[in-house]
Amino acid sequence: MSRFRLLAVMPLLAVLCGCNFVVLDPSGDIAVQQRDLILISTGLMLLIIIPVMVLTALFAWRYRQSNTAAKYDPEWHHSTKLELVIWSAPLAIIICLGAITWMATHLLDPYRPLSRIASDRPLPANVKPLEVQVVALDWKWLFIYPEFGIATVNEMAAPVDRPVTFSLTSSSVMNSFFVPALAGQIYTMPGMETKLHAVINAPGNFRGFSANYSGAGFTYMQFAFKGLSHDDFDKWVASVKAGKDGELSRAAYLELERPSEKVPVRYYPSVDPKLFNAIVNMCVEANKMCMADMMAIDAKGGQGLESARAVLPSYDKYARRGTVLGGEATYVVGVCSPEDLSAQAGSDRAPVAVGQRRVIGGPSAPVFTPISAPSAVPLPSLRTLSNS
């Protein structure tokens, strides 16, 4: 019977041969340090776990009911020596874990620039980090290389032993950029910019993906990460510059940003140099106020009711671009309470009509100008903004 059980287990062992241990065998210095942290922490915890498991089995065997030779002491209730062992050993391990975690939290901070490219190689004084701007789209990855004025979709490359500075953001929902061979994951969020510093120390083709669920096409939100020698990286840049996808202008980006799945690799030989900043500030469309400008106005006290004009263009981009999550676009037409708006309706300030819609309140007649949609787009509905 045991032979049949062994034969039944063999296929399961064969499945384990296909496991990818890239997290425990990475190719980048940051990922190597994170791997070491995992191994050290696991080892420290096993110093307690293994003795406890062994002693549990030993006590169960020694004090089994059939062992009449074992000492029986029903009045035993305390041992100072045993208490010292039980509490001092875990306490020492917790102190070690806390110290290691505290140091690693600062040394492996993704915002911290690199001080070395490997354990035995400090960062050369004259090296310039490669800057890569990353945008998490639905459901694909956009990489912009401002140093070369190029951009790619679902593929990126970096030269071996050259530090890489990632600037990351998202076009819609929170996502997570993760190349296990390179470094730990870092979140990307719309309207925000996060940072990651890393380096790849070995050439090869590695897998990158999203580690945070972001909707229907999440399964296919993967990209190829290539670690290349300096000569091969220069050839890769040349191949991107020879790409036939044209310039990644703001109009081209708005089309690329629409949700799509299984998007093939794209090479853009040129890119709008201000595109990434506009993506972060959520003002890629023309005539739309950037968040940085809006926050600067708010920091100075705002503009009162007149500020409504600045925010008339909708920030609900899903409705504007006809994506799967969209409804009708909305606009701010009154910065006051619903009661104040009702009172204005009966005053000398008559409701303002926009097309076939009616607007109550607002500093003046809002002007609707479609930004990226064709002329067939219907007029937006208008919704009251309450401060209550």
209 pLDDT band, cuts 50/70/90, is: very high
Per residue in 48-84, pLDDT (tens digit) is: 899 889 989 998 888 888 888 888 887 888 888 888 8
- The CATH fold assigned to 118-280 is Immunoglobulin-like (2.60.40)
Q: Would you list the DSSP string of 212-265?
A: S--STTGGG-EEEEEEE-HHHHHHHHHHHHT-SS-EE-HHHHHHHTS--SSPPP
Please tell me which residue, 3 or 54, carries the higher pLDDT value: 54
pLDDT value, residue 215: 84
The pLDDT of 34-45, averaged and rounded, is 92
> Any idea which of 141-150, 164-173, 297-306 has the lowest mean pLDDT?
297-306
Taking all residues of the chain, what is their mean pLDDT, rounded to a whole number?
Answer: 79
Per residue in 107-124, pLDDT (tens digit) is: 999 999 998 988 888 988
In whole angstroms, give the CA distance from residue 263 to residue 176.
18
pLDDT value, residue 227: 95
Is this model's pTM higher than 0.85 or not?
Answer: no
In single-letter form, the type of residue at position 38 comes to I
pLDDT value, residue 266: 94
pLDDT value, residue 339: 59
pLDDT value, residue 362: 38
Per residue in 237-269, pLDDT (tens digit) is: 999 999 888 899 999 999 999 999 999 999 999
Q: Would you list the DSSP string of 340-351?
A: HHHHHHTSSSPP
> Any idea which of 196-205, 287-296, 339-348 has the lowest mean pLDDT?
339-348
